[in-house]
Structure 1
Amino acid sequence: MTRRQTILIAGPTASGKSALAVRFAKETGGWIVNTDSMQVYDVLDVLTARPGPDDLREAPHFLYGHVPPSLAYSTGRWLADVDHLLKTEAAGERPLIFVGGTGLYFRALLGGLSAMPDIPDDVRTYWREQDAKAGAGQLHAILGEKDPLAAAALRPTDSQRIVRALEVIDVSGRSIIDWQKETGTPLIDSASARKIVIDPDRAWLRDRIAQRFQAMLEKGAVEEVKALLAFGLSSDLPAMRAIGVSEITRMLAGSISAGEAAELSTIATRQYAKRQMTWFRNQLDDDWERLAYP
């Protein structure tokens, strides 16, 4: 566990986290580390609101866009990548600023990952086949019968996590929620880290989300989706479920207009931000500083 100077900045999408991280990096000479599960993917630069050229010139950024969209990147893979970064000679004892909107990444960083049961290949194959045949909604209903606790915590459309929960309950007879409560080894010292969560005014955030998505369309989001679709990837992959991908795909197919794509994506982003804010309010301890604005 490292006791280097560490700053954690959590918050919903479009809340100004990246700008705050750059400010701290300039003040401390630190590095910025991505703590967002969608900003790890290559191709989706604009659409996932990765730091732009100006931010990248201001401070070194790590674990952004380093994963091909053909892979399903996990919290465990991210934690291993962070561990590797911490051990590099260049990192030394340099301050690190972790910034993002993925609560599970912050939880893993501070508490480690709990042990999970090994999933036999036949169980893994079975539930993936069921997902392909029946879809996430039906599997979510099955999970509700087998593991109501996990079902209540997962969106009915989140096929990847639903399948994972079904695998775990089948193999172990225990809810994945119970497994997740068993802490592992943290990578940083929680007591010495400065922990900040941005909890913005909702009306302000709603306006900012609408403005930002319109800017994304103007800066190349459509071209990014075209490039992503050219890979011919499964729609179940996380990168394919990034907000805006399905909406722009429908626009490109001619089933909805550009205005409708923007409206639907904005609505989905606002709903996502609301889920993030709820998670942070319920899951982060009182030792996190809460800022209304960055």
Structure 2
Amino acid sequence: MSSDQSREASAFHDPRDLTPFRGVQIHVPLLSVPGALGERIANASRRYRIRPLSPGVAPRLKPLTPRPVKHIHAAIFSGAEPERLITLARTYPGWAGLCYVMAGLQAYQMRQFPQAAELLRRGINTVNDDDAGRYIAENLMQLLTQVELGDGVSVRVLFSEEAVMLALAHSLDEIGEPEAALEVLEPLPASLAKVLAISQIAASLERHDLVIGLSDGLRNVDDLAAAILLLRARSLRAVGRLKDTEAAIAEILRRKRTSLLLRNAAMTERALLVLDAGWKALPRRRPRPIDRKLRPGGKAEQQEWMRAYRNKSGK
């Protein structure tokens, strides 16, 4: 198969000129920080995550905007108040789909995953009227939300179907529904973010063949690709393909600007690979314990061994 054909067949190839993804963040889980310091850092980070989106300055509404639009606009940009948006969804049924989606994203940013999954599902299945559609096109297309794709890897996504689906898939995985999360991700356009999210869930289910197949031929072009290659290396090591594991680790370390956290994780995988290779290199049959001369059996043999030892040592 030619290189062009293999590129078209790769699941991670993105045919679009412009994607909704706007930057990757690699971080260390705060649970690894011991004691009260870890709790203080975690609480501070939660306070900074309260705002559901990153719009900068809220867009101004047109003059003579109807009151329902003003109320919903204020609820979206004023802070994290999912209950306020739920009340507006019941008050204005034509805007219910948008209100539930935005309430779900706010709950997701506060890491309230059960509520986020329920609200996002409800919002996706509720049809908005034409006024709500126009409002989305005029005011929400530049909003950014941060979605977690894997352990320690998150991405900022412009408001879009992909942002909502990635947040829903992560919420479902967090509440113990990984198969449902995979179904949510399947219809999304091909992208590195989609492959990383699927690979993370598949790795947790020990579906290593899926992780390996999705990342076959991937190069370390950015940190998202490096995170996928790290999952690939772990899956390859789990199924015993040690040479391919070394190749995946080498590809992670090839790019100098790869995140230091990902490079450290790759070095850890290399150390584990050395341990696995060393164990597999040992002979399968147990060696003979000790030569018979060094392990006398009866009393006569023991006395003969002791005489030989004294003569050898000069005692």
- TM-score bin (small chain): under 0.3
Normalising by structure 1, report the TM-score: 0.24
Q: Which has the higher helix share?
A: 2
- Highest CA radius of gyration, 1 or 2? 2
Normalising by structure 2, report the TM-score: 0.23
